[in-house]
């Protein structure tokens, strides 16, 4: 069985604390680990993924015992861990479980933030690196392509990546619901703080036009303004500059309110009623809660945003159930393919295909030759049979001759492709002419 020869070993954010993961971090170049893995005897195909939340090796081996040990030693070689600790922090999946694991990772169901989109890109990069080193073969090639299409299916069929899962993204998403396009909009940053700066960065990535930075100390404002290529203003100027901006992010340490309803109300007219999105991430609050009652003013404080994120997270968890069903389905399909990746089933499939073609063509021809006697018909059928058998003889022999396991896989994959016995990994349009 091929299925049991697929294995995954690794650590992730669920099994190991960051102190352990960072010991395994393979820096930068991925050629060295791939080459080391390839050098392990019995490791027919392999692929290596290293991100900040996981380090794992997926490999195909017929020998198991020794190879598994060697891969494990490679992975934890640089770490100062006892055997027992390694067992505790790492996971090992084999066969169906390994396939399911890869699909779950690709579909971002195993991520720290379920549904985050980066993992698929990281997976694709890891695959490109492995392919460049020639460390993948017919099984991993197909398995990884399948993993990409599973991820795509999960993304289109469930709403797993729907709502923002962090406060700063929630703010960006809200801004998009209010303003549509963010290009050309202006932001005012009052006070500084990690979260405020992060939100500003996300907004700039969305095409925000200009950033005004206000701070108690003008010097700090000027520094921040430089990083955002914006303008620095002083705190007393804040109210008078409101008509110029569309989004305000406030996070000062002030105990007093910075913007009051009565100050903003007259300015709305001056703004020609253009909407104003106020984000208050300070505790205690900077912005008057009553501001939300003004027309075209939308005020969100830190609790509101946290709520949004919590709701989104539970929404994602609900969607994850549906996504897991998709993964289960695809794992079964992949197993089916693996089972067919044997000599016996492949020969049977080729026979079935050829016999079907033969019968079809015979029926067509005999329908046109109505004058033939029974004997002649037999002869024509005999002719068709022997042509098919002769044509198939050499491919069958080629399949049956003994050779090394990885060569055999290559052969099977090639023959199956030649006779078009499988769907393409995307599951559609097998023929591209």
Partner 1 sequence: MSDLLFQGSLLAYVLTTAAYLVYFARRNKKMRRVARTMLLVTGVIHTICIVARYLEVGHTPLTSNHEAVSFFAWSITWGFLSFRWRYQVKNFGAFVTPIATILMLIAALSSHEIHELPPALQSNWLPIHASIALMANGFLSLAFCAGVMYLLQEREIKDKQFGLFYSRLPSLEALDNLNHHSVAIGFSLMTLGIFTGSVWAKQAWGSYWHWDPKETWALITWLIYAALLHQRLTVGWRRRRAAIMAIIGFAAALFTLWGVSYLLEGIHSYVG
Q: Which is nearer to partner 1, 271 or 358 (CB)?
A: 271
Q: Which is nearer to partner 1, 272 or 401 (CB)?
A: 272
Q: Which is nearer to partner 1, 123 or 309 (CB)?
A: 309
Q: What minimum distance in Å lies between the beta carbon of 308 and partner 1? A: 7
Dist CA 199 CA 191 (whole Å) = 13
- Rounded to 5°, the CA angle 355-360-364 comes to 145
Q: What minimum distance in Å lies between the beta carbon of 320 and partner 1? A: 17
C-alpha Rg value of the chain to the nearest Å: 31
Q: In what order do the strands lie in the sheet with 247-250?
A: 231-234, 210-215, 186-190, 247-250, 276-280, 297-301
Helices of type H across 228-301: 238-241, 261-270
**Chain length of the chain:** 433
Residue indicated by tokens 């002869």: 379
Q: Which is nearer to partner 1, 271 or 377 (CB)?
A: 271
Candidates 30, 46, 52, 403; catalytic one: 52
Dist CA 173 CA 74 (whole Å) = 43
Q: Which is nearer to partner 1, 156 or 373 (CB)?
A: 156
Whether residue 168 contacts residue 310, with contact meaning beta carbons closer than 8 Å, is answered with no
Residue 19: strand, helix, or coil: helix
Bridge partners, residue 279, by sequence: 249, 300
Best CA proximity match to 320, nearest among 51, 13, 104: 104
Q: What minimum distance in Å lies between the beta carbon of 160 and partner 1? A: 13
User: Residue 158 is encoded by which pair of tokens?
Assistant: 């469930």
Q: What minimum distance in Å lies between the beta carbon of 292 and partner 1? A: 7
Active site residue 403: no
Q: What minimum distance in Å lies between the beta carbon of 231 and partner 1? A: 25
Whether residue 297 contacts residue 262, with contact meaning beta carbons closer than 8 Å, is answered with no
Whether residue 47 contacts residue 126, with contact meaning beta carbons closer than 8 Å, is answered with yes
185, HSE (Cβ side, Cα atoms, 13 Å): 25
Q: Which is nearer to partner 1, 205 or 311 (CB)?
A: 311
Q: What minimum distance in Å lies between the beta carbon of 295 and partner 1? A: 6
- Interface residues with partner 1 (CB under 8 A)? 156, 159, 162-163, 174, 176-181, 269, 271-275, 292, 295-296, 298, 300, 304, 307-308, 311
Q: How many CB atoms lie within 10 A of CB 376?
A: 12
Whether residue 90 contacts residue 16, with contact meaning beta carbons closer than 8 Å, is answered with yes
Task: Give the catalytic positions in this structure.
Answer: 52
């Amino acid at each position: 069985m091929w299925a049991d020869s697929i294995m995954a070993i690794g650590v992730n954010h669920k099994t190991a604390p960051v102190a352990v993961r960072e010991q395994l971090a393979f820096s930068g170049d991925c050629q060295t680990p791939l080459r080391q893995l390839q050098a392990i005897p019995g490791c027919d195909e392999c692929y290596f993924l290293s991100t900040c939340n996981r380090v794992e090796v997926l490999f195909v081996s017929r020998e198991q015992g020794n190879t598994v040990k060697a891969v494990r030693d490679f992975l934890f070689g640089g770490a100062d861990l006892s055997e027992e600790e390694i067992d505790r922090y790492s996971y090992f999946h084999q066969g169906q479980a390994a396939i399911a694991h890869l699909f779950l990772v690709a579909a971002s169901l195993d991520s720290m933030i379920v549904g985050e989109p980066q993992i698929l890109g990281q997976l694709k990069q890891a695959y490109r690196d492995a392919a460049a080193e020639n460390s993948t073969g017919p099984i991993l090639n197909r398995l990884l392509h399948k993993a990409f299409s599973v991820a795509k299916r999960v993304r289109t069929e469930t709403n797993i990546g729907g709502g923002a899962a962090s406060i700063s993204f929630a703010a960006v998403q809200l801004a998009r619901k209010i303003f549509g396009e963010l290009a050309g909009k202006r932001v005012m940053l009052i006070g500084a703080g990690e979260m405020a700066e992060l939100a500003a960065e996300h907004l700039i990535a969305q095409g925000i036009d200009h950033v005004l930075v206000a701070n108690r100390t003008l010097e700090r404002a000027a520094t921040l303004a430089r990083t955002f290529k914006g303008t620095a203003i002083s705190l007393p100027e804040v109210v008078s500059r409101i008509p110029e901006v569309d989004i305000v992010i406030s996070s000062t340490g002030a105990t007093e309110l910075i913007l009051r309803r009565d100050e903003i109300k007259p300015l709305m007219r001056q703004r020609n009623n253009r909407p104003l999105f106020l984000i208050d991430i300070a505790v205690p609050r900077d912005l008057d809660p009553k501001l939300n009652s003004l027309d075209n003013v939308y005020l969100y404080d830190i609790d509101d945003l946290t709520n949004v994120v919590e709701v989104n997270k539970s929404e994602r968890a609900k969607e994850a159930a549906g996504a897991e069903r998709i993964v289960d389905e695809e794992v079964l399909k992949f197993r089916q393919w693996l089972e067919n990746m044997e000599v016996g089933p492949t020969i049977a499939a080729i026979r079935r295909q050829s016999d079907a073609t033969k019968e079809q063509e015979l029926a067509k021809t005999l329908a046109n030759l109505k004058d033939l006697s029974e004997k002649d018909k037999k002869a024509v059928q005999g002719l068709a049979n022997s042509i098919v058998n002769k044509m198939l003889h050499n491919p069958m022999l080629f399949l049956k001759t003994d050779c090394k396991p990885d060569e055999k896989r290559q052969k099977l994959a090639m023959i199956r492709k030649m006779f078009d016995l499988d769907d393409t990994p995307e599951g559609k349009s097998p023929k591209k002419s």
